[in-house]
Amino acid sequence: MNGIHIKGIPFRLDLYQLRAFFVSAQTLNLTEAAGRLFVTQSAVSHAISKLEKSAGTELLGKAGRRLALTEAGRTLYRACETVFYELEKAEEALRSGAAGGAGPVRLGATVEFGTTLLVKHLAPFIKRNPGVPLDLCFSHDLLRPLLNDELDLVIDCRDHRQPGLEKTPLFREEYAVIASPSLAAGLRAPRDLDRSTILSLDKACAWWKNFLEALPAAERPAFPRVMELNHIRGVINAALESVGVGFVPKYCVTKELKTGALRHVFPGLKLLEDNFAVYQKTGRAGLERHRLLVKYLKGIKAAHLQRAG
């Protein structure tokens, strides 16, 4: 390995240089790494050059126009994960006896779940854990920022099976086919949807997968008319205005269903469901602030189901 001996890294290599390399390896972008470290790009580049000289080998190379880890770089990156995550645990332990508490958490969640439901249930956690300030990020792209340590934990209904991730199941994601009362009156069977405009987050209607796969193949509509909208709230508002028929998480339209502004079409059809889970890096799962938040998130399951019912 051209002089790299992981066992000796804590003693032979400079911690600042290791941090510059670690963040650069996560982002594969020196400008972005410099921003996260609050230094200049030249400072990051200089630190990595000195680290490579000390290690006796190249750590970051090029793959086309992008940075890429060399084999030695991947070895060092795995060691850095262990080193910096253990330092983070030590920092938290030192904080626990001080007024600062356990430390902050950057929590990611899917857009509609985060804005519609999650924010309504966080106040008790914040009140009980003043030493764990929360920052929230709502996005449909959660895996990449989690792997890059831009987020500490994420709540997602996608099943992520990457090595090094710990998954804690939370609750089921229930769905509903929705339409205004005037449109719903003409929908007796799933094939009737072929006479309606289908509101979908994508043109190919992959968004409707949990509806379509709940039907026998012979009963599935063909969806000849599809309107693509890139946000669930847009789907709901379009359905309210009788533009078409939508497919959304049930908790998003609890109020509209109760007031009758929208109808739950085909209520007797058992739709496929997704499962929400909270994901975190396995190496950081031992952090006390992570443990406190995961325990709390598991406890809001009953509240979610009540709102969604």
Domain segments of the chain as ranges:
6-95, 105-171+274-308, 175-265
pLDDT of res. 245: 98
Sheet hosting strand 153-156, strand order edge to edge: 134-138, 105-109, 153-156, 274-281, 165-173
Give the model's confidence band at 62: pLDDT under 50 very low, under 70 low, under 90 confident, else very high.
confident
Region 295-307 average pLDDT:
69
47 burial type by CB count under 10 A (0-12 exposed, 13-18 middle, 19+ buried)? buried
**6-95, what's its fold?**
Arc Repressor Mutant, subunit A (1.10.10)
Write the pLDDT tens digit of every residue in 10-52. 446 688 999 999 889 888 889 988 988 899 999 999 999 999 8
Residue 167 CA to residue 212 CA, distance in Å, equals 28
Q: Which amino acid is at 225?
A: R
pLDDT at 172: 85
C-alpha 208/C-alpha 211 separation (Å) is 5
Count of CB atoms within 10 A of residue 202's CB?
Answer: 12
Q: What is the mean pLDDT of the chain?
A: 88
Asked if 239 and 246 touch (Cβ cutoff 8 Å), the reply is yes
Taking residues 236-250, what's their average pLDDT? 96
Q: Whole-prediction pTM value? A: 0.74
pLDDT at 97: 59
Question: Over pLDDT 90: what percentage of the chain?
Answer: 57
CATH architecture of 175-265: 3-Layer(aba) Sandwich (3.40)
pLDDT of 12: 63
pLDDT tens digit sequence for 75-133: 998 888 888 888 888 888 777 655 556 788 999 999 888 988 899 899 999 999 998 99
What pLDDT, on a 0 to 100 scale, did the predictor assign at position 7? 43
State the average pLDDT over residues 145-166: 92
Cβ burial, residue 156 (10 Å; 0-12/13-18/19+) = buried
Residue 33 vs residue 237, higher pLDDT? 237
Question: For residue 260, what pLDDT is reported?
Answer: 96
Distance CA 133, CA 137 (A): 14
What is the per-residue pLDDT for 4? 44
- Give per-residue pLDDT as tens, 286-300: 899 999 999 999 988
- The number of residues making up the chain comes to 309
**Which helix (DSSP H) or strand (DSSP E) does residue 111 occupy?**
helix 111-116
Q: How many angstroms separate the CA atoms of 156 and 150, rounded? A: 16
- Can you tell me the distance from the alpha carbon of 104 to that of 287, in angstroms, rounded to the nearest whole number? 11
Determine the pLDDT at residue 200.
Answer: 97
| Higher per-residue pLDDT: 306 or 182 | 182
The DSSP 8-state label assigned to residue 126 in this structure reads H
- Shared fold status for 105-171+274-308 and 175-265: yes
Measured between alpha carbons, how far apart are the two ends of the chain, in Å?
58
CATH class given for the domain over 105-171+274-308:
alpha beta
For helices 30-37 and 41-55, angle between their N-to-C axes, nearest 10 degrees: 100
pLDDT at 155 over 70: yes
pLDDT of residue 54: 86
In this structure, of 31-45, 147-161, 277-291, 295-309, the range with the lowest mean pLDDT score is: 295-309
Coil/strand/helix, residue 284: helix
Query: In the prediction, which pLDDT does 307 show?
Result: 53
pLDDT band at 309 (very low <50, low <70, confident <90, very high): very low
Higher pLDDT pick, 99 / 242: 242
